[in-house]
Structures are given as C-alpha cells and as structure tokens.
Amino acid sequence: MIFIDEESQSIEIKIVSYQFPTNFTNVEDANWLNIFICVHSKIGNWQVVDPALTTWEFNELILWFETLSNNQKPTYSTLTFTEPNLSFELLNGYDEEIKQIRIRLNAECKPKRFKTPVFFDFKFDANKLKTVTEELKKNLQSFPEKK
C-alpha cells in the first residue's frame, strides 16, 4: 500500500516475507513478517525491510482501517505494536468525513541520522480508507497465520 500526502510525500508499506519462513515449531516466531517500507519525502528518501509486525498485528492494522472506513470508533486512536518501529494515529475524530492519520516511523524504520521518530500525516475519505483496507487484506493473503 502506498500512502501519499498532499505534498506528494509517500510511504509504501507491504509485507515481503516471513522473518522465519521455515519455522513451524514456534508459533510466535513463525508469524513475524518482514515489512518493506519505502519513504519519499522532503526530509529524505529511504527504504528498509524490518520484522516490524506479526501476522496478528497486520490483521489488527487492517481492522483499524476498516473500522475507520465505516465511521466507527476504533478501539485505539493510536495503533502501536510489539516492535516500536511503526505506528498509526488518528489525529481527528473517527466520525469526521476526512480522517487525518499520522504514520510514525521509529527505531530501525527510520534513518539513524534522526534521533527522534519521524512522522507523516495523511488525509483519507471513506473510499480511500476502503481501498487501503482492501490492499492490506490482499497483501496479507499471501502470508497467512501459521498455527
């Protein structure tokens, strides 16, 4: 999924592999996903592959966007995960016509030259949120939960 802001800055986020593709004995380890993140911005361009999410957390991200697309209140206004590398925050009301969402990159998902997390803000209407949800679902289909 590629997120693009009003100034043509973009963040691409997608699953590229399991971190441990042959691990079938430890369910926790087996479900870590390598996430590709590619940033084109005013502060610089970079890309990284990092085990930032599990299959369960990626599904939680899908449900978060789906909830927002239906103008429903998400369980959390800020969605954080086990690894503090990637987070999503709803900056305005869930019932607003246009949702403002901040994507924050930290730790291994940002260049080392930045001492603090970097973030980018995006605006979404309901149709765009539905598109995000569907693209994320499609990406996760290739990486089902290992049990």
Domain ranges of the chain: 2-141
Count of CB atoms situated within 10 Å of the CB of 32: 21
Question: What average pLDDT score do residues 68-74 get?
Answer: 95
Average pLDDT, the chain: 96
pLDDT at 142 over 90: yes
Give 129's pLDDT tier (boundaries 50, 70, 90).
very high
Residue 76: per-residue pLDDT: 93
Residue 23: per-residue pLDDT: 77
pLDDT at 15 over 80: yes
2-141: CATH number: 2.30.31
Count Cα neighbours of 24 within 13 Å in the Cβ-side half-sphere.
2
Residue 50: per-residue pLDDT: 97
Is the Cβ–Cβ distance between 136 and 122 less than 8 Å?
no
Residue 55 CA: distances (Å) to CA of 28, 41, 99, 112, 129: 10, 28, 25, 27, 20
| 132: three-class secondary structure by DSSP | helix
Residue 25: per-residue pLDDT: 83
Question: What average pLDDT score do residues 5-34 get?
Answer: 93
